[in-house]
């Protein structure tokens, strides 16, 4: 028997146009799609500040996890994509503020570009909801 597949949507145009979900929960696992600091209309938050974008992104990820019945405490893997490695320290501070006690596995890489030139980073996470 296949485990129930719960699709979480934030309702953005991109989800419908591209055909993806903000997050997917299968059993006790939750996978959150790459997240940028964009609002529902696609406007980018703090285009010149990667640290502030990271804070916004972690808030959006938290909301998606909660809709799936999880929390930031359940995160086991974080992947961060930066367009400029000079932003690593500011993004690292935002990551630490959220995950200092959780200490998930983390990968941070530099990429050539993201969906919008105003996006300084994109983050995706995987979570496992503790049983019991």
Per-domain residue ranges for the chain?
5-128
Model pLDDT for residues 33-85, shown as the tens digit of each residue: 999 999 878 899 999 999 999 999 999 999 999 999 999 999 999 999 999 99
Give the 3-state secondary structure of residue 12.
Answer: coil
Dist. CA 24–CA 6, nearest whole Å: 6
Q: What is the pTM of this model?
A: 0.94
**Looking at domain 5-128, which of 3.30.1330.40, 3.40.50.300, 3.40.50.970, 3.30.230.10 is its CATH number?**
3.30.1330.40
pLDDT higher than 80, residue 132? no
Dist. CA 25–CA 5, nearest whole Å: 6
Residue 16 has a pLDDT of 84
Dist. CA 3–CA 117, nearest whole Å: 39
Dist. CA 27–CA 102, nearest whole Å: 21
Model pLDDT for residues 97-112, shown as the tens digit of each residue: 999 999 999 999 999 9
Helix or strand run (H / E) with residue 55:
helix 50-67
Please count the residues of the chain.
132
């Amino acid at each position: 028997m296949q485990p129930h597949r719960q699709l979480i949507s934030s309702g953005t145009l991109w989800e419908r146009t591209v055909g993806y979900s903000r997050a997917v929960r299968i059993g006790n696992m939750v996978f959150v799609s790459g997240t940028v600091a964009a609002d529902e209309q696609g406007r980018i938050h703090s285009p010149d500040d990667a640290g502030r974008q990271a804070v916004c992104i972690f808030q959006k990820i938290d909301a998606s996890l909660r809709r799936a019945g999880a929390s930031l405490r359940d995160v086991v893997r974080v992947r961060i994509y930066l367009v400029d490695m000079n932003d690593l320290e500011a993004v690292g501070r935002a990551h630490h503020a959220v995950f200092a006690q959780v200490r998930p596995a983390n990968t941070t890489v530099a990429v050539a570009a993201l969906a919008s030139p105003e996006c300084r980073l994109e983050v995706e996470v995987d979570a496992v909801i503790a049983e019991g």
